[in-house]
């Protein structure tokens, strides 16, 4: 899927159509090492026994997922507020220049 970087759309804060800059949501933050869930996970992994989560889709007969959900962020050029869109499913995603 290809999308343009700038688009005119309705801003609910300005209550009118303004120019929005489109960007893709990317999660870069790691999970907290001291959170209860990660401590629990480490405790389980420590001794005997296998991995505590079910095997990935790859090893099952159902095959691998081929699409990924892309969340787009629209930043208003007037109030600089960001509105996220509902994720679209796409195999490939890229921005194109107009
Ligand atoms: Zn706005």
18-36 per-position pLDDT tens digit: 999 999 888 888 888 899 9
- Predicted local confidence at residue 81, as pLDDT: 92
> Separation of 26 CA from ligand 1 center, angstroms?
22
Whether 65 shows a pLDDT value over 80: the answer reads no
pTM comes to: 0.65
Q: Give residue 73's pLDDT band: very low, low, confident or very high (50, 70, 90).
A: very high
- Predicted local confidence at residue 62, as pLDDT: 63
Enclosing H/E stretch for 87: none
Q: Give residue 61's pLDDT band: very low, low, confident or very high (50, 70, 90).
A: low
Query: Who's near 55: CB < 8 A, 6+ residues apart?
Result: none
> Separation of 96 CA from ligand 1 center, angstroms?
23
CATH number for 1? 3.10.450.80
Query: Domain count of the chain?
Result: 1
> Separation of 63 CA from ligand 1 center, angstroms?
43
Nearest CA to 68 out of 1, 7, 12 is that of 1
Does 82 reside within a domain? Answer: yes
> Separation of 20 CA from ligand 1 center, angstroms?
8
Beta bridge mates, 21: 6, 75
Does 19 reside within a domain? Answer: yes
> Separation of 9 CA from ligand 1 center, angstroms?
10
Does 41 reside within a domain? Answer: no
Domain range for 92:
1-26+66-98
């Amino acid at each position: 899927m290809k999308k343009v970087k700038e688009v005119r759309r309705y801003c609910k804060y300005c209550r009118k159509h303004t120019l929005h800059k489109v960007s893709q949501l990317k999660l870069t933050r790691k999970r907290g090492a001291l959170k209860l869930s990660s401590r629990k996970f480490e405790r389980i992994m420590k001794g005997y026994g296998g991995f505590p989560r079910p095997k990935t889709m790859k090893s099952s007969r159902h095959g691998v997922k081929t699409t990924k959900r892309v969340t787009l962020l629209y930043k208003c050029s007037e109030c600089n507020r960001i509105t996220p869109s509902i994720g679209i499913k796409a195999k490939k995603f890229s921005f194109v220049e107009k």
